[in-house]
């Protein structure tokens, strides 16, 4: 047992309360796995302050529990803990702490509120307000496609949160339905700043290709090329989410993330109105404008996208749906050939030339 993780005997009333949350034998395997990954679970008290109540999510890098903040009238909070194996990895530890740094600097009605933990912590973790509601992923799990009016409304609310982030020089970079909570009053909260980028946090290095990049279905082409991105990167991911809300399918699909990303780099998605004929041409145009491969052709900002989302009847249609080019085998081959040329062939030619120059230089001296 690691000191500070578990409830110490001595506070009988708290021990009794905690016991009510403890998992019973034969409980959910997800809960058992989460307990193994982070070394604590329901019924434990973290740093004498957070009584872990239930498992909210078990992700690839962190486990999130609902907990009661005993120092603040038992208010409900969410506690995010990195897997024990990651605590000792400096890059992932730094990234995790950066999420808290970014989160604590934010204050907007549509952005999840982080809660500062003063005093020493026995391990890294992040605390945030507990959000009632369902993630947009849950909503889409039940209803897809969404009615056009609702989809445009959600996208507009997300734009509002993005405008705030971008004004504070933060790029979210991992926009996807599971990172948006839809609250019971119909508002949204943007969550998960795990791979967000801010000028202030340049020093942090990434520990892996996939972890720095977001999720294949929503990631922007420039992110795939390894760029840090700018506000238009988030506009692209929101476009991908809007496409899914309106058509029921993400813009590109495939059996594995690399196929999806390759299709995204080499072609355009199917016209949304081909998948859902009830959509208005305006909704289709908004999605396609946000999903332009070249960032210069996209909405330049979340504010510009929001203007069209809020008043689609006023926008000018430019017929983007007639310019779509499918990702064919031939275009994927060309893309691969270009990539091989730039990353292998050209560096090889440079090395051979350098070798001959050096060889020539030393041969003459002899």
Ligand X SMILES: Nc1ncnc2c1ncn2[C@@H]1O[C@H](COP(=O)(O)OP(=O)(O)O)[C@@H](O)[C@H]1O
Q: How far is the CB of 133 from ligand X (least distance, A)?
A: 8
- 125-to-108, 199, 207 alpha-carbon distances in Å: 22, 23, 19
Question: Could you give the count of Cα atoms lying within 13 Å of 123 in the half-sphere of its Cβ?
Answer: 24
Residue 179 interacts with Mg ion (CB under 5 A): yes or no: yes
Stretch touching Mg ion by CB under 5 A, among 96-104, 105-113, 171-179, 200-208: 171-179
69: contact with Mg ion by CB under 5 A:
no
Q: Give the x-and-dash track for 34-63 against ligand X (CB under 6 A).
A: ----------------------xx-x-xx-
Would you state the structure tokens that stand for residue 361, as one six-digit string?
């230089």
Assess whether 174 carries a catalytic annotation.
Answer: yes
Minimum CB–partner distance for residue 339 and ligand X (Å): 29
Which residues have a Cβ under 8 Å from the Cβ of 217 and sit 6 or more positions away? 176, 240, 244, 250, 251, 252, 253, 260
**Using the rule CB under 6 A, is 182 a contact of ligand X?**
no
The edge-to-edge listing of strands for the beta sheet with 134-135 is 134-135, 180-182, 188-190
Shorter beta-carbon distance to Mg ion: residue 160 or 192: 192
Closest CA to 152 of 315, 362, 346, 333: 315
Active-site residue (options: 28, 44, 134, 174)? 174
HSE-CB of 13 using CA atoms within 13 angstroms: 1
Mark residues 99-118: x for contact with ligand X by CB under 6 A, - for none: -------------x------
Distances (CA, A) of 54 to 83, 115, 194, 197, 331: 17, 19, 22, 30, 49
Stretch of 130-138, 206-214, 275-283, 300-308 lying at the interface with ligand X (CB under 6 A):
130-138
- Does the footprint of ligand X cover residue 179 (CB under 6 A)? yes
Residues marked active site are found at: 174
| Contact positions vs ligand X (CB under 6 A) | 56-57, 59, 61-62, 64, 78, 80, 112, 128-131, 135, 178-179, 191-192, 194
């Amino acid at each position: 047992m690691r000191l500070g993780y578990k409830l110490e005997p001595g506070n009988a009333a708290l021990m009794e309360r905690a016991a009510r949350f403890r998992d019973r034998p034969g409980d959910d395997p997800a809960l058992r796995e989460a307990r193994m990954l982070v070394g604590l679970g329901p019924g434990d008290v973290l740093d004498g302050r957070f009584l872990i109540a239930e498992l909210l999510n078990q992700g690839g890098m962190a486990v999130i529990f609902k907990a009661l903040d005993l120092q603040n009238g038992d208010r409900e909070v969410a506690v995010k803990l990195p897997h024990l194996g990651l605590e000792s990895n400096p890059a992932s530890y730094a990234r995790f702490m950066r999420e808290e740094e970014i989160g604590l600097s934010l204050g907007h009605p549509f952005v999840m509120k982080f809660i500062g933990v003063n005093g020493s912590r026995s391990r890294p973790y992040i605390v945030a307000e507990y959000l009632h509601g369902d993630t947009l992923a849950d909503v889409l799990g039940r209803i897809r496609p969404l009615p056009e009016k609702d989809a445009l409304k959600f996208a507009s609310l997300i734009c509002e949160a993005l405008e705030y982030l971008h004004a504070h020089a933060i790029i979210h970079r991992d926009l996807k339905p599971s990172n948006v909570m839809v609250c019971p009053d119909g508002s949204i909260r943007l969550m998960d700043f795990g791979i967000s980028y801010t000028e202030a946090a340049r020093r942090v290095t990434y520990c892996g290709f996939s972890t720095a990049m977001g999720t294949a279905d929503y990631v922007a082409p420039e992110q795939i090329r390894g760029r840090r991105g700018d506000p238009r990167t988030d506009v692209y991911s929101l476009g991908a989410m809007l496409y899914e809300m309106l058509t029921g399918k993400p813009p590109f699909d495939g059996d594995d993330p690399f196929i999806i990303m390759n299709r995204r780099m080499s072609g355009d998605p199917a016209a949304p109105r081909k998948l859902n004929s009830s959509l208005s041409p305006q909704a289709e145009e908004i999605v396609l404008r946000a999903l332009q491969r070249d960032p210069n052709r996209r909405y330049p900002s979340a504010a510009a996208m929001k203007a069209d989302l809020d008043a689609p009847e006023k926008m000018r249609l430019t017929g983007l749906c007639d310019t779509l080019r499918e990702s064919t085998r031939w275009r994927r081959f060309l893309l691969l050939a270009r990539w091989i040329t730039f990353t292998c062939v050209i560096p090889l030619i440079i090395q051979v030339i350098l070798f001959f120059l050096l060889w020539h230089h030393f041969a003459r001296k002899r």
